A and B are shown apart, each in its own frame.
Chain A
Amino acid sequence: MDLEWRIAVMVVALAVALIGWLVLQRGRGSLTPATPAAAGSALPEAVALLAGERLTLVQVSGRHCTSCVRGARIWHEAIADQSGVAFVEIDADDHMDLVREHGIMTTPTTLVYDRDGALQGRLTGAPTPKAARAVLTSEQDGALR
């Protein structure tokens, strides 16, 4: 290939990668309400014992995942002054059934369950601190119910 072509291929590939990345980021880091089909599905048995009185956050993490560590830190910070909120991190490898059931494509994905252990929504990617607090307060206002 000629030099001009190689440069063109390079520029196009970088542009495609950047656009692809921007598309991936859309809707990430903030709460998406559960679809009608998934809404209300029960807390996975494995974490039932660890459920919070008010809210249970289940972060599905992977061993090959950098943002999972950041996500867990942000959730821990956000719930530090909250009562009745439980944060549980589970390894996707050990819970592939859950990953399949919820169509989880990427780690971290955090599933948000209400006081009754019913699924309310999910948050893909590490939350922003603001989004993490919004999840906690929207539940208090009843917006999640």
Chain B
Amino acid sequence: MSVENAPDLTARGIDPRGPRFGAALTAVLLVVAILLGPGTGTIVLAVVAASFLLGAIRGPQGTWQGLLFAALVRPRLAPPAELESPEPPTFAQVVGLVITGLGLGLTLLGATWALTVFGVLALAAAALNALTGFCLGCEIYLLLRRLATART
């Protein structure tokens, strides 16, 4: 039961506004990538995918967006109402990595539509996350888990 686990998850928590700030920067980059299109846009998408890779490995606080937030934004804000576990936004980074990675791979293989299609998917999730605090993990983790256990 997580009654015992809950406190130590929050003890090593991060400011929940950090990942949202990061998502806003990611969303802007994705808009730029889509507008530039295959070529220059592919490079921008690669930067986004690389950021997601950092986030998937180190957590969202370990990305350049997270470092920018800690250095420039956090000092100007009041303390957050609560800290959050880094696991949910890390999960979102993994999902972002899968989507942008697929888009990047297919684009490099010559499927230029992939840049727009996968870029737009990632953009929708990032924009929702930035604007509303939408939590991808809350919505899809249980569904994935239910699908996974249904098969076994």
Closest to B122 in A: A13
State whether B123 touches A7 (Cβ < 8 A).
no
State A36–B145 Cα separation when bound (angstroms): 27
State whether B141 touches A107 (Cβ < 8 A).
yes
Main secondary structure of the interface of B (DSSP, over half): helix
Is A90 at the interface (CB under 8 A from chain B)? yes
Known contacts A1-B112, A13-B121; is A72 also within 8 Å of B6 by CB? yes
State whether B88 touches A66 (Cβ < 8 A).
yes
| Complex contacts, B135 vs chain A, CB 8 Å | 65-67
| Complex contacts, A67 vs chain B, CB 8 Å | 135, 138
Contact with A along B6-37 (1 / 0, CB 8 A): 10011001001000000000000001001101
Q: How many residues of B contact A (CB 8 A)?
A: 46
Closest to A12 in B: B120
Interface size class of A (residues with CB under 8 A): 35 or more
State whether B143 touches A105 (Cβ < 8 A).
yes
State A88–B145 Cα separation when bound (angstroms): 22
State A144–B128 Cα separation when bound (angstroms): 35
State A106–B139 Cα separation when bound (angstroms): 5
Q: Give A residues with C-beta under 8 Å from B.
A: 1, 3, 5-7, 9-10, 13-14, 16-18, 21, 24, 46-47, 50, 61-70, 72-73, 88-94, 96, 99-100, 104-108
Q: List 23 A-B contacts (CB under 8 A).
A: A7-B35, A9-B34, A9-B117, A17-B127, A24-B139, A46-B1, A47-B1, A62-B137, A62-B142, A66-B16, A66-B88, A66-B133, A66-B137, A68-B138, A70-B81, A73-B82, A88-B1, A89-B6, A90-B1, A90-B2, A92-B145, A93-B145, A106-B138
